Amino acid sequence: MIHESELGEYAKGFPRDLAGHVPVHGDCWRKMRFDLAGMDPDAKGISADERARRIEFLDTVWWPQVLARVRDERQRLESAHGESFINHWERVVNRGAEEPHGYEVE
């Protein structure tokens, strides 16, 4: 996942969680903080069967739709902005791990 602030001017059309994170390929909704609007599998008072039904829905219907919206917005921005967006996306999504700070211990 990437934070919307890293996308700058391009962030507006992407779906994001309550913390401002935009999912990318390989992310899981369980590690993000989306408002699940009545489909929260951890809601108090629901049965185990209802929890399982909600998880199945989120896994098989809702999450693929979210990822499709990300893909569609990315394609729209690639068409509209060309190389400038493509290069920005690749830099943000494929950035390496941050450099360690301080002294390295051997």
Per-residue pLDDT of the chain (106 residues; tens, 9 = 90+): 999 999 988 999 999 999 999 999 889 999 999 999 889 999 999 999 999 999 999 999 999 999 999 999 999 999 999 898 988 888 888 875 454 545 555 4
Q: What are the extents of the domains in the chain?
A: 2-92
Q: pTM of the full predicted structure? A: 0.82
Measure Cα distances from 40 to 8, 33, 36, 47 in Å. 30, 11, 5, 12
Tokens of 104: 């390295």
Calpha distance 10→6 (Å, rounded): 9
